[in-house]
Structure 1
């Protein structure tokens, strides 16, 4: 039976007089790939940050893998993010002085946990970089660096992987390779992926696309191709404020 990897109930996030999210209720079932889209300033990144426990809602509740985040202390919230949540961003955020395998092992080392070499090799193997373990970031292409970042996010075996424009800094071909890798992880390994993107082609890799406008949900598409997603985005962006 499918359960929710992440659930938001009536989540509102205000920054002073600005309402970035306005009463959003949404669930991300385990083992699914969801893309989040919307015009600039629609609340996409705020939604991701609240869902991942990087930001606290002004009101409402967020649960990750069945654990309610609202009442957690900063320490417990940090531990939950470290153990149950993975992050991949547009910037690769690799440490240039460390090799690929050292970068991948970093989250476990920071958590004070033993890092089995076999676990690191497995993570690099998942992203097709088993033969680049000893290379430093400067010796890797942009796509390879993002694959290392992906392996680093997966080393803790997270319940959910969040991506904020993860292919935004990559060329078209390399970006498609990374998206194919994410799709494969969902299909073959049951990984849950939530990705913010502005690219309809990237969003078409997802099972469903959630649309936000002015901090509110504005519908979704399931199993849509890039043309249908682009058309929906064009209509959303044409709506006067």
Structure 2
């Protein structure tokens, strides 16, 4: 809940969801439906007023802020609409940053492997300003993967990209699940993006109102969203 009294807003209302290992889930809904709040609570970026959040079997509720920060660094990967790279650091230095923040010495082979996974091994020494928008987002994805997280949370990861760059990023997210068994949870407004997932959760007014399981198509996702909008 945000705010107090008459201005209080219930962002999530009795919502229960689980994300199985090795699956790709898209979360959709109209603006204000609670998509980003769900993602932030599930990732430990915000604490819910009630209920329970578990990541890889660990209950986040009793954790101190310090322990929660450590868990996020070691077990959670993040990719946001803005790549959020450090402008003064090269691609490889940006990828190594989560390890350095955890006071771990980055192994050059691990950094190279993460950049190779997203097709950017040859751009390791480039600054963000020297990369395209799609390349910057792929560096952000490599940064999310370098700690070998239990789950990757992506909030509108293709929202600022053109169609070609979007397809590359979505194919990489899909590959994380299919080739490496990662768990991916992605908030998106785009039926084309959601079509890459194994299932779609539809939110409205902070509640889970519908679910669509694969195989998915952009048309099927768009049709379900349209019906929800009409019902509202």
TM-score normalised by the chain length of structure 1: 0.93
Residue in structure 1 matched with residue 225 of structure 2 by the alignment: 233
Alpha-carbon distance in structure 2 between the residues aligned to 1:89 and 1:14 = 22
Please list, as runs of the form range in 1=range in 2, the aligned pairs for 1:191-206 lying within 5 A after superposition: 191-206=182-197
Runs of 4+ in 1 over 3 A off after TM superposition: none
| SS at structure 1 position matched to 2:48 | coil
Residue in structure 2 matched with residue 36 of structure 1 by the alignment: 27
- Deviation of 1:219 after TM superposition, in Å, equals 1.4
Residues 161-219 of structure 1 show CA distances to partners (whole Å, capped at 9, x for unaligned) of 00000000100111011101110110000010000000000000000000001100111
| Residues matched between the structures, number | 228
Verify: 1:129 aligned to 2:138, yes or no.
no
Q: Is the 8 A contact 1:200 1:229 kept in 2?
A: yes
Q: Provide the alpha-carbon RMSD of the alignment.
A: 0.8
Structure 1, unmatched stretches of 5+, are: 1-12
| SS at structure 2 position matched to 1:114 | coil
Q: Is the 8 A contact 1:39 1:236 kept in 2?
A: no
Structure 2, unmatched stretches of 5+, are: none
- Deviation of 1:238 after TM superposition, in Å, equals 2.0
Change (3 A) 1:189 1:99: same
Residue in structure 2 matched with residue 84 of structure 1 by the alignment: 75
Residue in structure 2 matched with residue 9 of structure 1 by the alignment: none
Verify: 1:112 aligned to 2:97, yes or no.
no
